[in-house]
Amino acid sequence: MKKNYCLLFAALFGMLAVILGAFGAHGLEKLVDAHSLQRFHTGVEYQFYHSLALGLVGLLEQQQARAGYRWAGWAFIVGILLFSGSLYAYALTGQAGFGMITPLGGLAFIFGWGLLAWQSWHIKN
């Protein structure tokens, strides 16, 4: 049986979002200012939303192995790494250069949602 990387990454990213969310809620407020804490929270929020989307893509791909679903999944993975990852790095280090990476992650999210819509529209029964 073929491994479903979308479901694997969805589970791992979802678990990590819970861990990072707990860290942000119970330990980070002592280390960073309110603006950085909000930035970190935004990273967790988008990671969690897109972990769920990635899980959906994984389930759809199990039903119908289509390239559009696979590419949407990889776009969500890249988006989580770039968008949320850059926000975590920016919040924890204060280095504004990380903020320049965030829009690339946003574009990956948009691309993933577009691919998901396109593939869903082009399903042949």
What is the reported pLDDT for 88?
97
Question: Encoding tokens for residue 44?
Answer: 């967790």
> In which residue are the tokens 């289509």 written?
66
CB half-sphere exposure, 27, CA atoms < 13 A:
6
Could you list the pLDDT tens digit for every one of the 125 residues in the chain? 578 899 999 999 999 999 999 999 888 988 899 999 999 999 999 999 999 999 999 999 988 888 889 999 999 999 999 999 999 999 999 999 999 999 999 999 999 999 999 998 887 65
DSSP string over 60-113:
HHHHS--HHHHHHHHHHHHHIIIIIHHHHHHHHH--GGGGGTHHHHHHHHHHHH
**How many residues are there in the chain?**
125
pTM for the structure as a whole:
0.93
